[in-house]
Amino acid sequence: DSGVTQTPKHLITATGQRVTLRCSPRSGDLSVYWYQQSLDQGLQFLIQYYNGEERAKGNILERFSAQQFPDLHSELNLSSLELGDSALYFCASSPTRSHFGNEQYFGPGTRLTVT
Amino acid sequence: GDSVTQMEGPVTLSEEAFLTINCTYTATGYPSLFWYVQYPGEGLQLLLKATKADDKGSNKGFEATYRKETTSFHLEKGSVQVSDSAVYFCALSDRSTGGSYIPTFGRGTSLIVHP
């Protein structure tokens, strides 16, 4: 158990809808990372927040947005969903601002299915 | 942009065989390098890491050496066990033009170990 929790575990929704995925980092970790894992794209970094502020941005679509709250939990919002958004979404946390040389602790993931 | 290339799987071995999973990278800066492992139904876990050239990361019998001259970070284990069956991800962290470090993952290599 990494100490990172994600809810829900599974989510099934229809195209065009909007969903929110939630992540609680390990106690004391200030950084939260979001990833998308799909069969054709592999594991793609989406975005990082550090202590409430956006720190780094990867291949995140404009339809997707995220935020980190004062209690350090984070939410990833996915809107106008398309079939291609079906994937496993991971959250990871770390105690540091920089990813260089530092371990990330991954949650168990949220499986999103868009029908 | 940065990229990580891993050998395609699945890699199928008998117990006690020698394992090599190749990983090469391209990076604009001087990245740190990681190997993560993902067991079925779980998030990724850090296996080992290296932050500078010629560093050797090791854990649980797995090793990898940071080779700057060949831009490689191959994973090896002398004698695999059935419990090593999992998906292995090579990853790097490199400084982006914005100054923050961006994680980049390979597509993963599935390892299947038979008794």
Looking at residue B33, its amino acid is L
Give the containing element (helix H, strand E) for B33.
Answer: strand B32-38
Q: Is A25 on the interface with B (CB under 8 A)?
A: no
- Name which of A3, A32, A22, A37 is nearest A76 in CA terms: A22
- Cβ distance A45 to B45 less than 8 Å, yes or no, reads no
Q: For residues B45 and B38, is the Cβ–Cβ distance under 8 A?
A: yes
Is B29 within 8 Å of chain A by CB? no
SS3 for B89?
strand
Q: Which of A4, A35, A55 sits opposite B100 (nearest CB)?
A: A55
Q: Please list every residue in chain B whose beta carbon sits closer than 8 Å to the beta carbon of residue A109.
A: 43
Confidence at residue B99, expressed as pLDDT on a 0 to 100 scale: 65
- The mean predicted confidence, pLDDT, of chain B is 92
Q: Report d(CA A45, CA A40) in Å as an integer.
A: 14
**Contact between chains at A99 and B93 (C-beta distance less than 8 A):** yes
Is the separation of the CB atoms in B73 and B88 below 8 Å? no
Query: pLDDT tens-digit profile of A57-78?
Result: 888 999 999 999 999 999 999 9
Query: In Å, how far is B103's CA from the nearest CA of chain A?
Result: 7
A5 interfaces chain B, CB cutoff of 8 Å: no
| pLDDT classification of A39: cutoffs 50, 70, 90 | confident
Average pLDDT score over chain A: 93
Q: Is the pLDDT of residue B97 over 70?
A: no
Asked whether the beta carbons of residue A42 and residue B32 sit closer than 8 angstroms, the reply is no
Name the H helices within A24-111: none
Q: Which residues of A touch B51 (CB under 8 A)?
A: 100-101
Averaged pLDDT, A5-10: 97
Is the pLDDT score of B10 beyond 70?
A: yes
- pLDDT of B94 reads 81
Q: What is the pLDDT of residues B61-95, one digit of tens each?
A: 999 999 999 999 999 999 999 999 999 999 998 87
The 10 Å Cβ neighbour count of residue A64 is 19
Q: Is residue A98 scored above 80 in pLDDT?
A: no
Residue B98, pLDDT score: 63
Give me the mean pLDDT over the A85-108 stretch: 87
